[in-house]
Amino acid sequence: MSGENRVRRQKRILAALRRYVVFFFLIAFVITCCMLLFLYSMQSTMEISYSEIGVRYAAVLTMGNVLLLSLLCTVIDALRRRFMVERPVRRIVEGAEKLMRGDLSTRIEPFHGIDSESEFNIIIDYFNRMAKELQGLETLRTDFIANVSHELKTPLAVMQNYSTMLQSPNLSEEQRLEYAKAVTESSRRLASLITNILKLNRLENQQIYPAAKKYNLGEQLAECLLNFESNWEKKKIEIETDIEEEVFVESDDELLSLAWNNLFSNALKFTEPGGTVSVSLKTDDAFAAVRVADTGCGISPETGRHIFEKFYQGDTSHATQGNGLGLALVKRVVDIVGGDIFVESEVGKGSIFTVKIRRRGNEQAESNS
């Protein structure tokens, strides 16, 4: 951004030099005309005589010349304002009115000429940037609403179908339990979806602020992993851990627990029965690196470029197990606490997610460096 400001400052200096040259020639022209008219009036006065009538005639003629030159400058200034002030203002106002009416594709053409780097072009540049950002946000909002609607319809349709089937009087007890279980699972998925949407909305609108405190990261990882014990036992997944002891970080433990839970949930969800999920924690002077690896289906390079986007699901075969918000939540949490997240994956061999968290707060880290 500093480089952009430097370029803009240089352009302003060049524009000021151009304006100086224009005004120099204009003032030189006006003064030359005044001098010529003055000399002419003096010559005329001398021809008449140096009487009172001659002096009066010279004064009237000089005043007339001043009025004429003032009128000429007024006309020139009016033309200048029309083309260099009113026209840019009118174009900006018309663009703003289109934007207010909802036309987010509106863009204003910059002006070219002697004063092409004027403040109006700076305003136009920022207007176009704002319109582009608004257009992008509108696209995201539309996609978000469409995806939310689709995700809400799926569990609701399942609940509606199984609820209708539960009303049949000829159902066996086994069928009734199976249908009731399906309704319960769909309702849980719907509740999870709504909870994640609310959390992500609060995170993106910065309604959740990190409350940094010093705590043991290794203990937190172990506790979060144990919450999924029934999941890995059910699928007979082998768990490997390599967690350093007494690793303390200064961050928001509640936000980070949300990130670890989503990473562990994804790793277990996409790992086939009999596979392996490994969790490691390594440190250096500045960062603590958490690595979550699985032997699941893996992701393609194309999927990897969009994996942290809301509702994006690269593996549609597992779509019923999630709603595509987990990794978006993880990415937002990591951004808020000032960390970084990376993904390495190969189709058919699994994925590795690495999260790097500062061991100290930013201010303390800067003072110690």
CATH code for position 302: 3.30.565.10
Share above pLDDT 90 across residues of the chain, in percent, rounded to a whole number: 10
- Quick check: 272 pLDDT over 70? yes
* Residue 15 pLDDT level (bands cut at 50, 70, 90): low
Residue 218 included in any domain: yes
Q: Could you tell me if 99 and 243 lie in one domain?
A: no
DSSP label at 5? H
Sign of the torsion formed by the C-alpha atoms of 353, 358, 362 and 366: negative
Q: Could you tell me if 247 and 345 lie in one domain?
A: yes
Q: Could you tell me if 148 and 61 lie in one domain?
A: no
Q: Considering the chain, what is the average pLDDT of its residues?
A: 76
Residue 294's pLDDT is 92
d(CA 290, CA 240): 13
Q: Could you tell me if 102 and 188 lie in one domain?
A: no
Residue 125 included in any domain: no
Structure tokens at 119: 């403040």
Q: Using one digit for the tens of pLDDT, what is the confidence trace for 131-170?
A: 888 887 777 667 666 666 766 776 788 888 888 888 888 8
Residue 319's pLDDT is 41
Q: Could you tell me if 101 and 174 lie in one domain?
A: no
d(CA 49, CA 47): 6
Residue 129 included in any domain: no
Q: Could you tell me if 198 and 220 lie in one domain?
A: no
Residue 204's pLDDT is 62
| Stretch among 17-21, 126-130, 321-325, 347-351 having the lowest mean pLDDT | 321-325
Three-state DSSP at 363 gives helix
The more confidently predicted of residues 143 and 329 is 329
Q: Could you tell me if 98 and 48 lie in one domain?
A: yes
Mean pLDDT of 225-236: 87
Structure tokens at 215: 């705590």
Mean pLDDT of 195-206: 66
* CATH number, domain containing residue 181: 1.10.287.130
d(CA 309, CA 335): 14
| Stretch among 60-69, 106-115, 199-208, 255-264 having the lowest mean pLDDT | 199-208
Total structural domains within the chain: 3
The more confidently predicted of residues 289 and 15 is 289
Q: Could you tell me if 182 and 310 lie in one domain?
A: no
Mean pLDDT of 63-82: 72
Mean pLDDT of 288-307: 81
* Residue 41 pLDDT level (bands cut at 50, 70, 90): low
- Quick check: 238 pLDDT over 90? yes
Choose among 364, 112, 82, 114: nearest CA to 249. 364
The more confidently predicted of residues 9 and 108 is 108
Q: Could you tell me if 329 and 223 lie in one domain?
A: yes
- Quick check: 14 pLDDT over 70? yes
Residue 305 included in any domain: yes
- Quick check: 317 pLDDT over 50? no
- Return the half-sphere exposure (C-beta side, CA atoms, 13 A cut-off) of residue 147: 19
Q: Could you tell me if 85 and 191 lie in one domain?
A: no
Residue 137 included in any domain: no
- Quick check: 364 pLDDT over 50? no
Residue 354's pLDDT is 93
Residue 288's pLDDT is 92
Share above pLDDT 70 across residues of the chain, in percent, rounded to a whole number: 67
- Quick check: 362 pLDDT over 60? no
Domain range for residue 43? 2-117
